[in-house]
């Protein structure tokens, strides 16, 4: 028995950082799951395209040189935090190209690094060290528009003002008369399409020259070792022509895989569920699951109503829908990003609810995306800069801390910083680590065929995931009181046993006896 417990401990403590004390680690294991019920050794961790990605708003994450701006060297310094302390195995970098703005979504050079963030050597070092740690790297690919200061645009304007033309005139959409969605260039009779801002002129994605430039950009970064791209603003590629947008994204996917067959693409399509599902026909691997995300999404509604049945049924329908459009589709669940309010705010700053929301979306099929600071309960809503505030590493040591972005005013003094949460086995951060560890050692969760299971109480979220002939069953109690379920009544096999569990609140542990499963409030159980 002792040998068995030690074996389970070693499994659960794999990748714990050396400096975490044995006593703290043992406590974390006792909270995370049953040692006596550890059962057979878990399947080996699978390293493939299914990942748990961590979105890093580079300028606000980690400052390596003390200038108050986060940078690529800072990200490199924090790779051990991302991989070991948190447990993510992929990162998405928001734009790092030269740009006049703090957010960098209006680039002036697609094949360079903004000096604020470092050098190309810094980038190469980050990619190399990330890959050595089995962390994949995604870049933001912003090809719907450029900066108004981009040489392509300035040369096009110069030609038009001189009454001549050049190839760059065709790179954008110009008009000599006012049009909907067009803005005027100064006091001239030159108008240009700009969906987002006069500072961000839209590219003409139909132009062969533009397509050639984009193909070159994609190839440049993939050959430098990038593992894929987050596609910015896909609904704005062709705002009034969904079919054209799908066709363009199909071209982007083909262009990427021609350079690197395993390149992973995830698209931002902030739109209704019908349009979003139709985009999967492009062959793009994933799209952010906006219908489930944020304060108004399916997930938060289910948590608020304590309706696990509705959530599991909705998840099954959604996965069936996207796989009908693309059999190889991978959902990309999330609850926050740099454009949306941080969940700690709308979850009433309740660690219990933050943990419940986290385990619910992180155990969904596909590749989930976490937003930096989400795992420590950072706050932020309203104006965009307030959703992009500095990562709170410590309350006493300012090393690595950045300044707020321009316009950022949110008070983060109430946030418990990383260094304190790492020492607390019951913290939100340590819970995120435990959920991601569970996800890694249970390959069925990300890759399996999802099937909703109806529990006797709607507050119990129940589902199965089947992958390569193996099935796991997950039951999660969304309620604040305990519930008991009969496995047989739900169609679960009598041989099913508890293999893992997580607690979002309290210390009461799940029990299984005679086919009766007792789920404490907020408990999550994995059975095989």
What residues act catalytically?
232, 268
Output DSSP code: residue 215: H
Question: Both tokens of residue 307?
Answer: 């309706």
Residue 266 near residue 288, CB atoms below 8 Å = yes
Residue 104 near residue 146, CB atoms below 8 Å = no
Question: C-alpha 433: how far from its chain's center?
Answer: 15
Find the radius of gyration of the CA atoms of the chain. 24
Question: Both tokens of residue 239?
Answer: 């705002």
Taking the C-alpha atoms of residue 369 and residue 385, their distance in angstroms, rounded to an integer, is 20
Q: Output the 3-class SS for 233-283.
A: CHHHCCCCCHHHHHHHHHHHHHHHHHHCCCCEEEECCCCCHHHHHHHHHHC
| 3-state SS class at 110 | coil
Bridge partners of residue 200, in order along the sequence: 197
Burial label, 424 (beta-carbon count in 10 A; 0-12, 13-18, 19+): middle
| 3-state SS class at 490 | helix
Q: Where are the beta strands (DSSP E) in 30-115?
A: 53-56, 90-93
Within 363-462, residue ranges assigned H as helices are 418-422, 428-441, 444-447
Residue 358 near residue 431, CB atoms below 8 Å = yes
| 3-state SS class at 474 | strand
């Amino acid at each position: 028995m002792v040998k068995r417990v030690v074996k389970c401990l070693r499994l659960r403590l794999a990748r714990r950082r050396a400096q975490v004390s044995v006593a703290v680690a043992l406590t974390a294991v006792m909270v995370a799951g049953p040692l006596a019920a550890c059962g057979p050794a878990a399947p080996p961790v699978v390293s493939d395209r299914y990942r748990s990605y961590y979105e890093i708003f580079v300028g606000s994450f980690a400052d390596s040189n003390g200038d108050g701006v986060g940078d690529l060297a800072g990200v490199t310094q924090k790779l051990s935090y991302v991989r070991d302390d948190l447990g993510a195995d992929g990162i998405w970098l928001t734009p790092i190209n030269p740009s006049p703005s703090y957010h960098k979504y209006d680039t002036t050079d697609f094949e360079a690094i903004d000096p604020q963030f470092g050098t190309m050597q810094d980038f190469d070092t980050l990619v190399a060290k990330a890959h050595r740690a089995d962390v994949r790297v995604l870049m933001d690919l912003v090809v719907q528009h450029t900066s108004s200061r981009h040489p392509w645009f300035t040369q096009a304007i110069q030609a038009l003002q001189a009454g001549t033309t050049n190839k760059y005139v065709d790179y954008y959409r110009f008009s000599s008369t006012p049009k909907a969605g067009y803005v005027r260039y100064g006091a001239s009779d030159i108008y240009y399409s700009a969906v987002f801002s006069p500072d961000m002129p839209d590219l003409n994605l139909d132009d062969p020259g533009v397509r050639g430039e984009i193909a070159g950009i994609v190839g440049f970064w993939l050959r430098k070792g990038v593992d894929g791209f987050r596609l910015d603003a896909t609904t704005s590629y062709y705002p009034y022509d969904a079919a054209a947008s799908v066709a363009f994204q199909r071209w982007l996917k083909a262009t990427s895989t021609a350079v690197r067959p395993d390149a992973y693409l995830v698209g931002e399509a902030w739109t209704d569920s019908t349009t979003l599902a139709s985009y999967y026909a492009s062959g793009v691997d994933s799209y952010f699951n906006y219908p489930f995300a944020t304060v108004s999404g399916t997930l938060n509604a289910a948590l608020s109503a304590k309706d696990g049945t509705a959530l599991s049924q909705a998840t099954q329908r959604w996965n069936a829908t996207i796989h009908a459009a693309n059999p190889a589709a991978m959902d990309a669940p999330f609850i926050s990003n740099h454009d949306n309010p941080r969940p700690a705010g709308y979850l009433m700053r309740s660690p219990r609810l933050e943990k419940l929301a986290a385990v619910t979306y992180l155990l969904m099929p596909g590749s989930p995306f976490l937003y930096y600071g989400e795992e420590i309960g950072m706050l932020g809503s309203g104006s965009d800069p307030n959703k992009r505030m500095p990562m709170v590493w410590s309350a006493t040591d300012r090393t690595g801390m950045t300044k707020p972005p321009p316009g950022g005013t949110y008070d983060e003094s109430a946030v418990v910083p990383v260094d304190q949460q790492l020492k607390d086995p019951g913290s939100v951060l340590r819970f995120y680590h435990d959920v991601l560890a569970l996800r890694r050692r249970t390959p069925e969760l990300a890759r399996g065929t999802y099937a909703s299971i109806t529990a006797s109480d709607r507050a119990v979220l129940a589902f199965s995931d089947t992958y390569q002939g193996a099935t796991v069953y997950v039951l999660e109690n969304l309620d604040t009181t305990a519930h008991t379920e009969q496995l047989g009544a739900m169609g679960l096999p009598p041989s099913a046993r508890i293999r893992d569990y997580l607690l979002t609140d309290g210390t009461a542990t799940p029990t299984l006896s005679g086919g009766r499963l007792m789920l404490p409030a907020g408990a999550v159980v994995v059975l095989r």
